[in-house]
Amino acid sequence: MAQEKTSGNRKSSTILAMDVASYSKKMGVDEEGTIQQLRACRTIIEKNVSSSNGRIFNTAGDAFMVEFGNTLAAVTTAIAIQKEIFEHNQKIANLSKRLYFRMGINLGDVMMDGDNILGDGVNIAARLEGIAPPGGICVSEIVYTTIKGKLEHELIDKGKHNLKNIADPVTAYYIDINTGEIDPKKFKAPTAKNNLKIYFGGVAIASLVAAVIFFLNPFAEPSLQLNTIALLPINANSTDEGQTNLAAGLTQDISASLIRASKKLNIIKLNSHPEDLNGVATKTGARYLITGDLRQSSNNIRVSINLIDAQNMSTVWSEQYDKKSDIENIFELQDEIVSSVIDELVGNGDILSKEVVRAVSKANSKNMNSYACVNFVRNGFLNKGISPENFNKSLTCLKQAVKDDPAYKEAWQYYGYVQSWGYSIFQVFPKDSLSIALNAVEEAISLDANYAEAYATKAEIEYYYKNFDQMLKDGEKAISLAPNDAHTVGRVSYVFGLSGWGCHASTDLQNKYEIDEKACYRLKKGHELGVRADKLDPYKNVLYDNFGRAPLYQDSKDWENLLAVMQEQPADFMWWHHYMGTASHHLGKKDNAKKYFTRVKELLGGVNTIEALKKEAQIWHEMTVIEEMMPVYLEYGLD
């Protein structure tokens, strides 16, 4: 009988890994009923483990990792659990509601990490669980040797298996117990390739590259130096708008899931393909790069994904996927890629990654038109073409998307965001219309209470309402959920900064425009976040961070820094030209100032520009700036 041997923080232990077969599918069909049955099974598992002096050291929804100091105890406990769950299942008339656990058992070297356990001893147990029959038990050869002749059940030799991320082939044995749907003698063990294709519920690509690491030890720095990952846009290999938006949507979902996976990661999403990957690694400090290609023909889609080690530009992993291009297959495709990337990069076994996938995922779209709409909004509109035409197209399709797919959080979030721009950017809606935007984004938050982007949008809407205290709460919530996402940090920075106008204004102007005592705090906080967003965005892909820094410089009349920060990211946007013009004027660069203010006048319609500027300033709470700069406007021909 094998007993554990301890040496420092390493020891030999018997590990029992188990999870529910087809759990994600069952959750998708009947979430409440599946959870109810899982609770009953959990009670059975905990009771038997406790009575055998085992220790559950990790749980992940339907998955359990159990340590035993005695190998025979581990095996007999597993058998007892399977038999009791089988008896429980016999009481359930609806066969689809029955849960069957797969189990894997291994004796091997492990490493203690607090209360957690890591190492090949754990990994092999998890891999054996993956090839076990539903309701069955698979053990390694060392376990077979240890318990041989001590069980009333036969052990069936299933031969050697090449298990994923395990260096040497492992001989596997099934315990001959009929506690599942399939006789273990007749069950064909899946190959390593097929075993990888476990479908988890609806997340984008590499959401788990670091999520598994974070899950194993949430208070440690990510291993493998995974703090920074550069994500290149998936190449559509086509000029077709639908394919381009689909590729951009997949890229966006990858980024969002990575950000959600771990707060310790800095995900740098590039907007264009660089010529030199080495340059990307140098400039970003990324440890890994993710690249991809998408091709679509008729009703089929092919996606190739590459995981590249930035230290030597070698391809760590590459895979090609062929699917039908319907909504279910698109998300199934994402799930397969998630599983494979995790296996290659982390290799901790499917049982340890599954709950993190579920933790970072929320319901995806169930409607292809809704998904296509969101892809157009975030790529065709917000990323490439902010125009009245694309605004109207976006708003129209988003209104339909939330009707067709009311559980699609991204559709609600973008509906709120775009609707609010109808008041602020495009000025086609009255301020009362912000209630529609606020209701939409609150619906997104009700679908996912940890949706950072939705909180950032809500902060912006509260800013328009001049509800600055609530804006701070929502913005701080967004930052807490995604502290290393340049997009989120940048968005919050500019509304915080803009809400601080008047901090340095005269007492008369502060009184006239009711500048509160927190204005300076918000102005400086916005600037701090803008600086932070800028550091997270070495390629200057996010416009917001310079607009987060600009208000402090404009308000405090620091013209050199205002000019410098605006020059970083040129944009044909009225306020960009305004900041460039005021800074150039006060630095004595009047020819440049004239050029910028001429463009301000053009963008404001060419006539009655002072009134148009005041209207803009009322929306953006910049009236103190307008009054202070009035002589400058008049000098350059604004009327």
> For residue range 57-102, what is the model confidence (pLDDT) as tens digits?
988 778 899 999 999 999 999 999 999 999 999 999 888 889 999 9
**Percent of the chain's residues with pLDDT above 90:** 52
pLDDT value of residue 334: 64
Least confident interval from 2-6, 51-55, 631-635: 2-6
Task: Provide Rg for the chain, Cα atoms.
Answer: 29
392 vs 333, which has greater pLDDT?
392
CATH topology of domain 6-196: Alpha-Beta Plaits (3.30.70)
The pLDDT tens digits of the residues spanning 280-309 come to 888 888 878 888 888 877 778 888 888 788
Q: Torsions phi, psi of 371, nearest 5?
A: -65, -40
Write down the pLDDT at residue 504: 95
CA distance 480 to 221: 17
Who wins on pLDDT, 25 or 467?
467
Does the domain at residues 450-635 carry the CATH identifier 3.40.50.620? Answer: no
Report which DSSP code applies to 378: I
Burial 404-423 (b: 16+ CB within 10 A, else e): bbeebbbbbbbbbbbbbbbb
Q: How many CA atoms lie within 13 A of 225 on its CB side?
A: 9
Considering the chain, what percentage of its residues have pLDDT values greater than 70?
85
Confidence of residue 349 (pLDDT cuts 50, 70, 90): very low
Output the CA torsion sign for 282, 246, 397, 453.
negative
Does the fold of domain 450-635 match that of domain 6-196? no
| Lowest-confidence segment of 325-334, 375-384, 604-613 by average pLDDT | 325-334
pLDDT digits (tens, 9 = 90+) for 412-454: 999 999 999 999 999 999 999 999 999 999 999 999 888 999 9
What is the average per-residue pLDDT within 488-506? 95
Mean pLDDT of 350-377: 65
Residue 507 Ramachandran class (φ > 0 left, ψ -120 to 50 alpha, else beta):
alpha
What's the pLDDT tens digit per position in 232-269?
Answer: 888 887 888 888 888 888 888 777 766 765 566 678 88
Domain 205-360 CATH assignment equals 2.30.33.40: no
**Degrees (nearest 5) of the Cα angle 541, 543, 548?**
130
176 contact partners, CB below 8 Å, separation of at least 6: 153, 154, 155, 156, 184, 185
Q: What mean pLDDT value characterizes the chain?
A: 84
Q: Where are the alpha helices (DSSP H) in 296-433?
A: 327-345, 350-360, 368-375, 388-404, 409-424
Cα-to-chain-centroid distance, residue 462: 25
CA distances from 241 to 7, 153, 258 (A): 60, 61, 26
Buried b (16+ CB within 10 A) or exposed e, 228-237: bbbbbbbbbe
Residue 6 phi, psi dihedral angles, 5° rounding? -110, 135
**What is the CB neighbour count within 10 angstroms for residue 344?**
17
pLDDT class for 516, splitting at 50, 70, 90?
very high
> Which CA distances in Å does 368 have to 120, 404, 410, 424, 530?
42, 10, 13, 30, 36
Whether residue 484 is predicted with pLDDT greater than 80 in this model: the reply is yes
| β-bridge partners, 108 | 13
How buried is residue 456: exposed, middle or buried, by Cβ count under 10 Å (0-12/13-18/19+)? Answer: buried
Least confident interval from 23-27, 41-45, 136-140:
23-27
What's the average model confidence in pLDDT over 302-331? 77
102-125 tens-digit pLDDT: 999 999 988 887 788 888 888 899
Query: Chain centroid to CA 449: how far?
Result: 14
More confident residue, 614 or 297: 614
284: closest CA among 564, 529, 484? 484
Q: Where are the domains of the chain?
A: 6-196, 205-360, 362-436, 450-635
- pLDDT at residue 385 tops 90: no
More confident residue, 166 or 35: 35
- Name the pTM for this structure: 0.64
Q: What CA–CA distance (Å, rounded) separates 423 from 614?
A: 15
pLDDT higher at 435 or 193: 435
Q: What is the signed CA dihedral for 76, 78, 81, 83, rounded to 10 degrees?
A: -70
pLDDT band at 596 (very low <50, low <70, confident <90, very high): very high
Segment 546-574 shows an average pLDDT of 93
How far is it, in rounded angstroms, from Cα 396 to Cα 377? 11
What is the mean pLDDT of the segment spanning 119-148? Answer: 92
